[in-house]
Structure 1
Amino acid sequence: MTTTYDCTVDDQRAQGLEHAQRAISEKRCVVFPTDTVYGIAADAFSPQAVTMLLVSKGRSRTMPPPVLIPRINALDGLATDVSADARKLAEAFWPGGLTLILHAQPSLDWDLGETKGTVALRMPADDIAQELLTLTGPLAVSSANRTGHAPAQTAAAAREQLADSVEVYLEGGFRPAEGEAAVASTIVDATGPRLRVVRNGAISLDQLREHVPGVLGLGEIPMAEEEPAADAPADAVPAAGAPADAVPAAEEPAGAVPVAEERVGDVSAAAGSSAVAPAPGGSPARDEAAPDQGQAAQGQAAPDQGQRP
């Protein structure tokens, strides 16, 4: 039976978190607030649960959700070949509105969709989200809305779209604050030799470059790639090799991610699905949450104006 809990009331918050933990263990979906928008979550290690999440949103396996984590030390358990630069950004902006696309640990028994071996991770800066993630562990999260619709900024708004496909709704008030526009997480592809932004969002390029000066902005091409071939006209437009800058305004959470998706968790999230177009390194874009307006976590970024959490 679908139940909404008012998490601004202590006893309902405790009951809601307990019910949400139980629902996740039973491979069902829950909705909860993140620091971007509301996200719909499922057990990241259950293909059945992830499928239910995608069906609830009305999206396919080609738009996998991002994964939200409770602690930064979960990074190495879920991803491999994490570069020093990617680690610097995680340490600087987690918890917060940054989603990192990384190579997934090949030994993990999960199926998030068509991720091409990558995973989009985010650690959300929200107390309710953190409490739930601490109880459940990593969650596949996307923005709590039907694909193509605006991301939900309250649990009540999420329920209007997702109805009984979700067992537990945790209401925590507006995310972000009432009257503020939903902003997806910034998504950075960290699978190649250079970090590159594949979706603009909560963390600006200038902020990223304060910690990693070499981060490429959305659509930027490294100098070596900018130089036209000797026999090419000076005004030739680079084709192959140019970065994918057609990343939809994202969907958050969650994320996310996907988020899509931070924009829950976070994963992310601008406006639309977090389906991020594949970057030159071949890594898919993510949906983020952390959630959908676009904000999530993995081959994410589908045009769904969603926002990753």
Structure 2
Amino acid sequence: MKAKRCLLIDTDKDKEFLDEQLHKVANLLKAGKTVVFPTETVYGLGANALDPEAAKKIYEAKGRPSDNPLIVHISKKEDVDFLAGNISQDSKLLMEDFWPGPLTLILDKSDSVPIETTGGLMTVAIRMPSNPIARKLIDLAGVPIAAPSANISGRPSITSSKYLVEELCERVDAIIISEDSEIGLESTVVDMTASTPVILRPGKIGKTEIEKILNKEIELDPSLKDENAAPKSPGMKYKHYSPNATVIVVTGSLDEMKQKINQKLSLDKNIGDKVKVVCLEDRVSLYDGYGISWGKSSQEAAKNLFKILRLMDEQNIEVVYFEALNSDEISEAVMNRLIKAAGNMIL
């Protein structure tokens, strides 16, 4: 790809002129350019969702297969009416309770949304981010922004601004640098096109929360485990989130995981400091200097997962063992990403 020099905007350093700078970025979006922007989940790599050529530039910048659908980001709930049809009462209930926030709804697309944005599907993925900079940018641009995670396809998503410039500045037209992502995992994705809603990608908003709002049971899509299924949701079809290190997920009871990992560590002495064990903070001491914490809880682990994966590359780690989490629904969302990062290597 031909190198380009991107416009960099630091929301902290540019506070005095932030509105002016955001107008510049909005104008780039109107002109069909690509922009990296912050959200509460992960950073997004966006372009005008209504412009087929702009959508193609997203795939090019990421090196992403064009049959992998993009999420369309909006700033106002009423924008859904322009982008989708056959909007059910259940969909409206979820919008009312969870928007703005980390919930993406799959709806029947309108003719306004090009198939280049939806990966060739007749459905569209829509969400309203809670990050105020993201929403202001969408407002200023006057168009919805199609955006997958801001990273080279297959690499860990970016939740910290320190990785943005090095990885993406030569691939996009502008980058908005802001604080670290609040949540750290991509949004929950729910297919609302069937009579029973189906979770296609787990996230911070779990099945139990959604069922409470809808007052009925919903389903988990079996395609979460079937790599050959058609990708109705972003992130369902291809290997994701992978660092250069070999990632191995270790399952079992707490004692079983400790035993399995320490047995492996005894065999990995030849690579010395090139091996690490990622676990909750209260278990780090179990691994004789190899352990590193990804937080005190599953919520903290979710926020830190992608940072840890990228840290492994910074430290030139060759093998990293992750203790599995299984305490709650956010743990399920973390494990969904982690197993993809491991390429299904489970011990």
Same fold (TM over 0.5): yes
Partner of 2:219: 217
TM-score normalised by length of structure 1: 0.70
Unaligned runs of 5+ in 2: 243-305, 307-336, 342-347
Using the TM superposition, give the Cα deviation of residue 19 of structure 1 relative to its aligned residue in structure 2, in angstroms: 1.6
Q: Give the AA of the match of 1:6.
A: D
Rounded Cα–Cα distance in structure 2 between residues aligned with 1:36 and 1:55: 22
Paired residue for 1:195, among 197, 201, 205? 197
Using the TM superposition, give the Cα deviation of residue 63 of structure 1 relative to its aligned residue in structure 2, in angstroms: 0.6
1:2–1:108 CA distance, 2 compared to 1 (3 A): closer
Partner of 1:2: 6
Partner of 2:172: 166
Using the TM superposition, give the Cα deviation of residue 107 of structure 1 relative to its aligned residue in structure 2, in angstroms: 4.9
Alignment of 1:1-309 (within 5 A): 1-8=5-12, 9-108=14-113, 111-136=116-141, 137-176=143-182, 182-219=184-221, 243-246=222-225, 259-260=234-235, 272=241
Q: Which has the higher contact order (CA 8 A, sep 6+)?
A: 1
Unaligned runs of 5+ in 1: 220-242, 249-255, 262-270, 274-292, 294-300
Rounded Cα–Cα distance in structure 2 between residues aligned with 1:44 and 1:61: 14
Is contact 2:200–2:233 with CA below 8 Å preserved after alignment?
no
Q: Give the AA of the match of 1:246.
A: K
Is contact 1:50–1:140 with CA below 8 Å preserved after alignment?
yes
Rounded Cα–Cα distance in structure 1 between residues aligned with 2:214 and 2:115: 31
Rounded Cα–Cα distance in structure 1 between residues aligned with 2:112 and 2:54: 20
1:50–1:120 CA distance, 2 compared to 1 (3 A): same
SS in 2 for 1:144: coil
Rounded Cα–Cα distance in structure 2 between residues aligned with 1:139 and 1:191: 22
- More deviation, 97-106/148-157: 148-157
TM-score normalised by length of structure 2: 0.62
Two-structure CA RMSD over aligned residues (Å)? 2.7
Is contact 1:148–1:304 with CA below 8 Å preserved after alignment?
no
Rounded Cα–Cα distance in structure 1 between residues aligned with 2:146 and 2:130: 16
Total equivalences in the alignment: 236
Larger Rg belongs to: 2
Rounded Cα–Cα distance in structure 1 between residues aligned with 2:118 and 2:219: 27
Is contact 1:67–1:257 with CA below 8 Å preserved after alignment?
no
- More deviation, 205-214/111-120: 111-120
Using the TM superposition, give the Cα deviation of residue 141 of structure 1 relative to its aligned residue in structure 2, in angstroms: 0.6
Using the TM superposition, give the Cα deviation of residue 109 of structure 1 relative to its aligned residue in structure 2, in angstroms: 5.2
1:152–1:68 CA distance, 2 compared to 1 (3 A): same
